[in-house]
Chain A
Amino acid sequence: MIISLTAEKLACVRGDRQVFTALNFQVGAGEVLVVEGANGVGKTSLLRLIAGFLPPATGSIAITTDKNVISDGEERGRQAGWLGHQDGIKPQLSVGEQLEFFAHLYGARTELEGVLNQVGLSRQRLLPCRYLSAGQKKRLGLARLMISARPLWLLDEPFAALDTAGRVLASALMQAHCASGGIVVAASHDPFGFAARSMRLGAP
């Protein structure tokens, strides 16, 4: 069980540019943290820092679970489910093949049919992904997120390209994830369908 995600005096440098400094926050189990801020203020960089792709310039990020405290970047990544602004979808593979690959890669035991039904892609199971619309690709991303069964969800613009029903679905999935004791950190400009804590980057 995950207990919290903590960042202390976090600083991020990209190239020669100081993106943000002295960032402190803590998110507990069952919470959603919405990261807001203007374009280029470092929302995606923050998500990549948490996932362990980027090493922090200074400061630390740690995930506390009921067993241990994880501060190593790659170990942190093993706790994270990722929905980036790049879709990570191969046009040559069918929806089913794509999802099956991720289920096997992540060692997930989830039933694919049920997940596909939930995100509204069950009819597209045999369709090559090159025929999917941007919104359908996002839905596939959400399905992948559910399959990954990771306690910490890192979402970059989770509502982008989704229709109204898709937004409702994404909100419901996030709420369900939190209700089962997970954590969501989402970078977004869109209003969430529910009350969520927000943190503004780059505010003076």
Chain B
Amino acid sequence: MSFAFRSLLMRDLRLAARSGGSAFLALAFFALMATLVPLGVGADLHLLARVAAGVLWVGAVLAALLSLDRLFQGDFDDGSLDLIALSPLSLEEVALAKFLAHWLSTGLPLTLLSPLLALFFGLSPLGTEMLVLSLLIGTPAVSAVGAIGASLTLSLKRGGLILPLLILPLLTPVVIFGAGAVSTALDGLANGALGLLAAFSVAAVLLSPFVTAACVRLNLAG
């Protein structure tokens, strides 16, 4: 990892942690949503355990989306992106650093928080273990696909509102395989959902920097 790459990564993490940063916001949203659902559904533990994986997965995806528009938008609006683009880093490396920073500041904390929230749903230890594993494998894909969307909508005013419409359909496989891995494990069935989730995640993470860099180039020229 080059020095310049690390400095960009550390700066984005620092911005996410400071006031007005998005790291805390995503976690709070996730926690509040996971608290509200059991209150709405009622105290039927059997039912809650069944829907836990689906609800928590959707919650994690929505929470990660909340912070996506800050991935490039802030730097684009105040001119930082111009300066970063002229640095010795290629835009592909910039995209990779920003994706990593987003995952480390949202995807990873969401994953770490999930076992606690799974308690509200009475999810069994096996189910919780599966949930954490699937989030760990799947959330990088959320950040990777999200980075593409964030870079695509850069020059749109209020692009943050269009972003979920653009990204959510692309993330359906992640939610299906992620939540599916948990429910099949609860049913005691052998399943390939985790493998498919991993495949999707790897493909998304590998492709994302190139697509994102191309979108950033278009927007810098716009």
Contacts and interface: CB of A to CB of B under 8 A. Distances in A.
Interface in A84-132: 84-90, 92-93, 97, 101-102, 104-107
B7 A92 contact: no
B18 interface: yes
Contacts of B80: 88-90
Given A104-B4, A105-B4, A107-B3, A88 B86 contact: no
Interface in B1-39: 3-4, 6-8, 11, 14-15, 18-21
Contact of A86 (B18, B79, B87, B220): B79
A184 to B, nearest CB: 16
The 10 A-B pairs at the shortest CB distance, nearest first, are namely: A86-B79, A104-B7, A88-B79, A92-B18, A88-B80, A53-B220, A77-B86, A105-B87, A101-B11, A88-B83
17 contacts: A53-B82, A55-B221, A78-B86, A80-B86, A82-B82, A85-B79, A86-B77, A86-B78, A86-B79, A89-B78, A89-B80, A93-B14, A102-B83, A105-B4, A105-B89, A106-B88, A107-B88
A145 to B, nearest CB: 10
Given A88-B78, A90-B80, A78 B88 contact: yes
A183 interface: no
Interface string B82-123: 111111111100000000000000000000000000000000
Contact of A105 (B8, B20, B77): B8
Given A84-B79, A88-B78, A107 B4 contact: yes
Interface of B: 3-4, 6-8, 11, 14-15, 18-21, 74, 77-80, 82-91, 220-221
Given A93-B15, A105-B4, A107-B4, A53 B221 contact: yes
Contacts of B220: 53
B21 A87 contact: no
Interface of B is mostly: helix
Contacts of A93: 11, 14-15, 18
A82 B7 contact: no
Most buried by B among A85, A89, A101: A101
Given A55-B221, A104-B4, A82 B86 contact: yes
A29 B36 CA distance: 66
A33 B83 CA distance: 21
Interface of A: 51, 53-55, 74, 77-78, 80-82, 84-90, 92-93, 97, 101-102, 104-107, 144, 148, 150
Given A78-B86, A104-B3, A105-B89, 15 more contacts: A51-B86, A74-B90, A81-B86, A82-B83, A84-B82, A88-B78, A89-B78, A90-B74, A92-B20, A93-B14, A97-B14, A101-B11, A105-B4, A106-B87, A107-B4
B85 A101 contact: no
A105 B84 contact: yes
A92 B78 contact: no
Contacts of B88: 78, 105-107
B152 to A, nearest CB: 17
A144 B162 CA distance: 35
Contacts of B4: 104-107
A89 B80 CA distance: 7
Nearest to B7: A104
Contacts of B91: 74
A92 B21 contact: yes
Nearest to A103: B7
